[in-house]
C-alpha cells in the first residue's frame, strides 16, 4: 500500500515538472 502511494507521488511530481517545463517553454516563445 505504501509503495503504491510513493509511486503515485513520484508520478504526480514528474507530471507537474513536465507541465512546468511546458509552461516555461511556452512563455519563452
- Spatial separation of the C-alpha atoms in residues 24 and 18, rounded to whole Å: 10
Between 20 and 2, residue with greater pLDDT: 20
- Spatial separation of the C-alpha atoms in residues 7 and 29, rounded to whole Å: 33
Q: How many residues does the chain have?
A: 29
- Spatial separation of the C-alpha atoms in residues 24 and 26, rounded to whole Å: 5
Give the pLDDT mean for 4-24: 96
Domain of residue 11, residue span? 1-28
- Indicate the pTM of the whole model: 0.58
Give the pLDDT mean for 8-20: 97
- The count of structural domains within the chain is 1
- Spatial separation of the C-alpha atoms in residues 5 and 26, rounded to whole Å: 32
How confident is the model at residue 2, as a pLDDT? 86
- pLDDT classification of 1: cutoffs 50, 70, 90: low
pLDDT at 3 over 90: yes
Amino acid at each position: 500500500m505504501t509503495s503504491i502511494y510513493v509511486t503515485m507521488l513520484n508520478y504526480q511530481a514528474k507530471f507537474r515538472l513536465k507541465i512546468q517545463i511546458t509552461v516555461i517553454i511556452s512563455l519563452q516563445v
